[in-house]
Amino acid sequence: MTAMVIDGKAIAAELRKEVAKGVEQLVATGTIPPGLATVLVGVNPASQTYVRMKRKACAEVGIESFGYELPVDTSQEDIEKVVKELNADPKVHGILVQLPLPAGLDEEAVLKAISIEKDVDGFHPLNIGRLAQKGREPLFVPCTPAGCIVLLKKAGAQLEGARAVVVGRSNIVGMPAALLLVKENATVTICHSRTRDLPSVCREADVLIAAIGRPEMIRGDWIKPGAYVIDVGVNRVDDPSRKRGYRLVGDVAFEEAVEVAGAITPVPGGVGPMTIAGLLRNTLHSAQRTVA
């Protein structure tokens, strides 16, 4: 069997188009455009790139972005002060504090300072708490896990009643992905570094989400024939044949898995593009909520 390869790039492009249309409709009613504030502390090159990509994506769909770049030695008090000012700014509908923060800053306290109405990353403890509770709905859901669910649905996966396995339990990917699958009525197993006999747990999965950060760890013979496989991992491996000296691979051994799975996301071009598209959608929803 050769799996259907889920085209995250195309699905994200579709989502971005819908966001652009939504922004246009909103602005046509005479209100200000949606606004996203990005807060970057320090000079982590990867974080700088992510923030740049997010601001560029905003511009492409008509969302205004406001960049705040704070020095690496910013105090806890000062970063929370910036967040509180942004909470009160009516031009700002979403606040994104780029993680990780420099060592010594209390990440949870910073995330908690963001108004839940502007928490477009969905990491505020209240939004995460609501995600975990039956009958409660968060105002925003974290973008990468939300993207995984969109890709599964677009690929035709039946989530209700499915056996789902999530490998990884991080706050930003694994755990919220598992909570979202529970909301979709899947039966969910969460695996991590202490899980015993991971291959046999994975083999039970109709839906497998890998969010580990280990290149090609999940092998083809860990996958149930016909399963839906979502590979969140982004790992650099040396590749002297490439000009830049490396290539990106996921947490799943794609060439093996594609022979067994029913559908699978590639890396790159699978989950990655969905993250920024989700952020744009969340910012639009926040702006729409202010005029509703």
183 is catalytic: no
Of 64 and 231, CB closest to ligand NDP: 231
239 is catalytic: no
Of 32 and 234, CB closest to ligand NDP: 234
| Distance separating alpha carbons of residues 246 and 237, to the nearest angstrom | 5
Tokens linked to 59: 């511009």
Stretch 211-230 residues interacting with ligand NDP (CB under 6 A): 211-214
**Contact with ligand NDP (CB under 6 A) among 19, 162, 191, 202:** 191
Of 112 and 214, CB closest to ligand NDP: 214
Selecting among 7, 118, 119, 121, the annotated active-site residue is 121
- In Å, how far are 53, 66, 152, 210, 260 from 148, measured between CA atoms? 20, 28, 6, 10, 20
Of 8 and 42, CB closest to ligand NDP: 8
56 is catalytic: no
CB of 81 to ligand NDP, least distance (A): 28
The residues that touch ligand NDP, with contacts defined as CB under 6 A, are 144, 167-170, 172-174, 191-195, 198, 211-214, 232-235, 271-272, 275
Catalytic residue positions, numbered? 54, 98, 121
